[in-house]
């Protein structure tokens, strides 16, 4: 929609007199610079939000499982991922992962093989071409922030397997949103005491001792090697919050 003042339409520079908006839109010879402008990007971002909200709105109670894409099938953490996905599915949860290989694939595999719903929320990356083979329903996103919104909005808890920078990003974003009361606090479980103990020790010995965080921030986290304990925490939170 455009607003115009004056007595009537005037020809725009470079456009033939009498051309219409539809004609200019559909003319394949037209200027393509507009697809790289910020207003157009806003529309693409909006489309990703709409698609995500539409497709995930009725999935039921769900838990997001995070972990490294670099974990091979023979790694112990891969087996833990399968067990976590299976136990969550048997407890009535939909399992959501980033849809990639490694720990994400393991959790999707466990959920799918247990008869549960296995969702993958992929992201456009140069080195990950497609969702893993154990995703029963998948969405691909261009924008990290839209994808992370979906994890937070449609999950009732996080289970975090050993991982790298992406896993830490997802973990600390959830903690920050909870700390700042942007979301209702939900259970966050770190699977693998050997992997996570060093991080917790540093948080307590440096961040807490320097009063950069509070004990309540660390108390958001449960560290365990017990799959049943992790899933029980999710079940209890579901029962408490309905």
Strands (E), the chain: 62-66, 94-97, 118-123, 137-141, 158-160, 188-191, 221-224
From 144, 148, 139, select the one nearest 52 (Cα to Cα).
139
Q: Residue 141 forms beta bridges with which residues?
A: 123
**Structural domain includes residue 111:** yes
Per cent of the chain over pLDDT 70 is 85
Predicted pLDDT at 36:
72
Is residue 55 in a domain?
Answer: yes
Q: b/e for 136-153, b at 16 or more Cβ within 10 A?
A: ebbbbbeeeebbbbbbbe
Query: What angle in degrees, to the nearest 10, is found between the helix axes of 227-241 and 76-90?
Result: 30
pLDDT for 30: 59
Residue 238: per-residue pLDDT: 94
Whole-number pLDDT of residue 2: 30
Extract the residue ranges of the chain whose pLDDT is less than 50: 1-16
Measured CA to CA in angstroms, residue 102 lies from 12, 79, 151, 161 at distances of 55, 10, 18, 10
- 88 domain-assigned: yes
Q: What is the pLDDT of residue 29?
A: 62
Tokens (6 digits) for 239: 């029962």
Our count of domains for the chain comes to: 1
Q: What is the pLDDT of residue 34?
A: 67
Q: What is the dihedral of CA 45, 141, 143, 148, to 10 degrees?
A: 110
Query: Does residue 164 form part of some domain?
Result: yes
Question: 128, 122 in Cβ contact below 8 A?
Answer: yes
Residue 40, number of CB atoms within 10 A of its CB: 12
What pLDDT, on a 0 to 100 scale, did the predictor assign at position 64?
Answer: 98
The residue segments making up the domain with residue 227 are: 48-241
What is the reported pLDDT for 98?
A: 97
Alpha helical stretches, state H, 57-164 = 76-90, 103-113, 144-154
Establish if 19 belongs to a structural domain. no
**CATH number where 225 lies:** 3.40.50.450
**Domain annotation covers residue 30:** no
Any domain includes 181: yes
Render pLDDT for 122-144 as a digit per residue (tens, 0 to 9). Answer: 998 877 668 999 999 999 999 99
Q: How high is the pLDDT of residue 127?
A: 73
């Amino acid at each position: 929609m455009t607003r115009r003042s004056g007595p009537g339409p005037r020809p725009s520079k470079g456009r033939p007199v009498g051309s219409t908006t539809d004609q200019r839109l559909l003319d394949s010879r037209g200027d393509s610079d507009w697809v790289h402008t910020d207003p157009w990007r806003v529309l693409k971002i909006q489309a990703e939000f709409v698609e995500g909200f539409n497709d995930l709105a009725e999935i039921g109670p769900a838990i997001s499982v995070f972990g490294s894409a670099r974990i091979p099938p023979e790694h112990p953490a891969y087996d833990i991922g399968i067990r976590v996905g299976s136990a969550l599915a048997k407890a009535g949860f939909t399992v959501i992962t980033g849809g990639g290989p490694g720990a994400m694939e393991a959790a999707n595999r466990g959920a799918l093989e247990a008869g549960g719903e296995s969702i993958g929320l992929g992201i456009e990356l140069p080195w990950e071409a497609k969702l893993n083979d154990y995703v029963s329903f998948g969405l691909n996103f261009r924008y990290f922030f839209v994808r992370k919104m979906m994890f937070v909005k449609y999950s009732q808890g996080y289970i975090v397997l050993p991982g790298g920078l992406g896993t830490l990003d997802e973990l600390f974003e959830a903690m920050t949103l909870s700390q700042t009361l942007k979301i209702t606090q939900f259970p966050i479980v770190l699977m693998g005491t050997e992997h996570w103990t060093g991080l917790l020790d540093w948080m307590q010995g440096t961040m807490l001792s320097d009063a950069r965080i509070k004990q309540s921030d660390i108390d958001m986290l449960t560290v365990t090697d017990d799959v049943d304990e992790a899933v029980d925490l999710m079940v209890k939170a579901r029962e408490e919050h309905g």
